Amino acid sequence: MNESLLSQRLLALFAAAVLLFNFPLIALWDSEIKWWGIPLFPLAMFTLWALLIALLAWLMERQPD
């Protein structure tokens, strides 16, 4: 993968993470709903966090085109 393309994708992933973990969007998950006994807020936060890590690993480990 081209270095500039990789840099752009990493920057876009960073921007998505900043937006996802910013207050207005975090407030959407803050409710009394439980899913399988787990409150929705920490479940959503850890799921988003794991998804961002998985996307970062996928971007960094991709073979060059």
The residue ranges of every structural domain in the chain are 34-60
- Give CA–CA dist 54/22, Å, rounded: 20
Q: Say what the pLDDT of residue 40 is.
A: 80
Q: Say what the pLDDT of residue 39 is.
A: 87
Per residue of the chain (65 residues), give pLDDT as tens: 577 888 888 899 999 999 988 888 788 777 787 888 888 888 888 989 999 999 999 988 876 66
Q: Say what the pLDDT of residue 53 is.
A: 94
- Give CA–CA dist 64/44, Å, rounded: 33
